[in-house]
Amino acid sequence: MKKKSIRAEQFDEQFDQGGDVAEYLETNLAERPGLKQRRVSVDFPAWMVQELDREAQRVGVTRQSVIKYWISEKLRPSAL
Q: What are 10-19's pLDDT values in tens digits?
A: 999 999 999 9
User: What is the 3 state secondary structure string of the chain?
Assistant: CCCCCCCHHHHHHHHHCCCCCHHHCCHHHCCCCCCCCCCCCCCCCHHHHHHHHHHHHHHCCCHHHHHHHHHHHHHCHHHC
Q: What are 22-75's pLDDT values in tens digits?
A: 888 888 888 888 788 889 999 999 999 999 999 999 999 999 999 999 999 888
List the Cα angle 26/29/31 in 5-degree steps.
120
Band of the pLDDT at 78, cuts 50, 70, 90? low
Boundaries of every domain in the chain: 1-29, 39-80
